[in-house]
């Protein structure tokens, strides 16, 4: 039976910026590099394939102190813009693979993290990014601060919910003015985690929106109903991104049509087939190169420290 994909291809205006459709490439570590030609081409190709918003993989904020500059990031942004997509980047408080918990940080180190976010945000503005996204999901450091089971601090950054929200809210409060009135501030959050659930997450989301977050990136939803865990975050004053097994066009449309999300993140699907949005829009569903969730070319390569690929690509790619 044919799928009416019209809901996926309605534009959405956020803070004066127009997303040409509802399809987002979520931040996925791919190890192709942000300043190398291969990395620039990787992200530009997904923009060319029709995604409305391309979110660059999680990148440690401290890399912007010296390594990542406005000048060496501009080609990445320009490559995405050339094909009509908006460009955002996810910012992580620490280097990927670092084993740091909330208890490991003293106040000076927390202040350094906040400072690095300010530097990163300013660099991203100068490079031309349309938005930035603090990474507060999937058990990484900011998410650990939110979790009562993982955050055992006894100071103002631990204990009750207000304190466990403090670092996330500080970061958002610091970088919102740097982004100015015309750039997007996203925040990625996992809605259910160790010791917390939807109710506390909604409280955080309300505070984030009050501090100037424009888009709530809720990851993941459950497998049962497309976008189900994103749904409670709608109506808080910011569009909501849903993610998890939404590279099935029918599931993606259901999440939108059922009012569970405003935007759909297609992750594995855009690794397997950069043209996923264009093919779906044009009704060429039979031509979509589908992810088979073998985890060999993507996670397998990451485990070996190699750039992400896909076993479903034609030979030679």
Q: Annotated catalytic sites, by residue?
A: 140
Query: What are the tokens at 105?
Result: 């940080």
In whole angstroms, what is the distance from residue 251 CA to residue 46 CA? 21
Identify which of 84, 93, 103 has the alpha carbon closest to the alpha carbon of residue 21: 84
Angle at 217 between CA 279 and CA 27, to 5 degrees: 60
Q: How many secondary structure helices (H) and strands (E) does the chain include?
A: 10, 10
Q: How far apart are CA 44 and CA 76, in angstroms?
A: 8
Closest CA to 307 of 37, 26, 39, 35: 39
**Six-digit token pair at 140?**
């990484």
Query: Could you tell me if 141 and 92 are in contact, meaning their C-beta atoms sit under 8 angstroms apart?
Result: yes
Q: Is the peptide bond before 258 cis (omega within 30 degrees of 0)?
A: no
Residue 6: how many other CB atoms lie within 10 Å: 11
Q: Provide the b/e sequence for 82-119 (b: ≥16 CB within 10 Å).
A: ebebbbbbbbbbbeeeeeeebeebeeeebebbbebbbb
Q: Is 152 left (phi over 0), alpha (psi -120 to 50) or beta?
A: alpha
Q: Which two tokens stand for residue 246?
A: 């939404």
3-state SS, residue 287:
helix
The secondary element (H helix, E strand) that includes residue 143 is helix 141-146
């Amino acid at each position: 039976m044919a799928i009416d994909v019209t809901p996926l291809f309605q534009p959405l205006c956020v803070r004066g910026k127009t997303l040409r459709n509802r399809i987002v490439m979520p931040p996925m570590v791919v190890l192709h590099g942000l300043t190398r030609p291969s990395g620039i081409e990787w992200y530009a190709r997904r923009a060319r394939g029709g995604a409305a918003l391309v979110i660059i993989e999680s990148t440690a904020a401290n890399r912007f102190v010296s390594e990542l500059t406005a000048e060496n990031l501009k080609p990445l942004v320009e490559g995405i813009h050339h094909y009509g997509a908006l460009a955002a980047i996810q910012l992580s408080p620490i280097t990927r693979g670092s084993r740091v918990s909330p208890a490991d940080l003293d106040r000076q180190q927390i202040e350094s993290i906040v400072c690095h976010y300010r530097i990163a945000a300013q660099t991203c503005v100068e490079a031309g990014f349309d938005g930035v996204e603090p990474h507060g999901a999937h058990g990484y450091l900011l998410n650990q601060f939110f979790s009562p089971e993982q955050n055992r601090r006894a100071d103002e950054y631990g204990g009750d919910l207000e304190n466990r929200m403090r670092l996330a809210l500080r970061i958002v409060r610091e970088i919102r003015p740097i982004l100015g009135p015309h750039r997007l501030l996203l925040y990625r959050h996992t809605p259910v985690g160790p010791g917390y659930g939807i109710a506390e997450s909604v409280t955080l989301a309300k505070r984030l929106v009050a501090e100037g977050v424009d888009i709530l990136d809720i990851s993941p939803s459950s497998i049962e109903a497309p976008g189900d865990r994103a749904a409670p975050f709608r109506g808080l004053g910011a569009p909501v991104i849903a993610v998890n097994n939404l590279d099935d066009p029918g599931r993606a449309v259901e999440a939108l049509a059922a009012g569970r999300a405003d935007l759909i993140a297609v992750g594995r699907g855009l690794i397997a087939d950069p043209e996923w949005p264009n093919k779906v829009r044009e009704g060429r569903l039979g031509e979509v190169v589908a992810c088979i969730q073998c985890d060999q070319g993507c996670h397998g390569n990451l485990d070996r420290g190699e750039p992400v690929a896909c076993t479903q690509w034609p030979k030679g790619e």
